[in-house]
């Protein structure tokens, strides 16, 4: 799946500006800028990922049960670890 795009959040005066591109923005003392750069996407169809590797990702707390099921098509029993 594709990775997320770049994102810039500017917190000023109790408001949050969500911008994709900044050309000019006046900032004041106390304003906060959060710059979130894009992450890498996956390789290939997530449904073709080896279920054992999906289980390892869950065990290592890299994904949730919902992600395993919804993205990778793998149903995990968290009590039996299978």
What are 9-24's pLDDT values in tens digits?
Answer: 999 988 998 887 777 7
19 with 52, same domain: the answer is: no
pLDDT tens digit string along 48-78? 999 999 999 999 999 999 999 999 999 999 8
Identify the residue with better confidence: 1 or 61.
61
Number of domains making up the chain:
2
Alpha-carbon Rg for the chain, nearest whole angstrom, is: 19
Give the global pTM: 0.56
Please give the angle made by the CA atoms of 53, 80 and 43, to the nearest 5 degrees: 15
Q: Is residue 1 part of a domain?
A: no
Which structural domain, as residue segments, surrounds residue 70?
43-82
Q: Is residue 2 part of a domain?
A: no
Q: Is the pLDDT of residue 38 over 90?
A: no
Q: What is the pLDDT of residue 25?
A: 78
């Amino acid at each position: 799946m594709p990775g997320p795009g770049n994102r810039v959040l500017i917190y000023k005066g109790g408001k949050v500006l969500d911008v994709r591109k900044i050309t000019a923005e006046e900032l004041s003392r106390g304003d906060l800028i959060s710059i979130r750069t894009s992450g890498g996407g996956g390789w290939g169809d997530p449904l073709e990922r080896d279920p054992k590797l999906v289980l390892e990702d869950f065990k290592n707390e890299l994904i949730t049960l919902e992600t395993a099921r919804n993205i990778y098509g793998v149903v995990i029993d968290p009590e039996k670890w299978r």
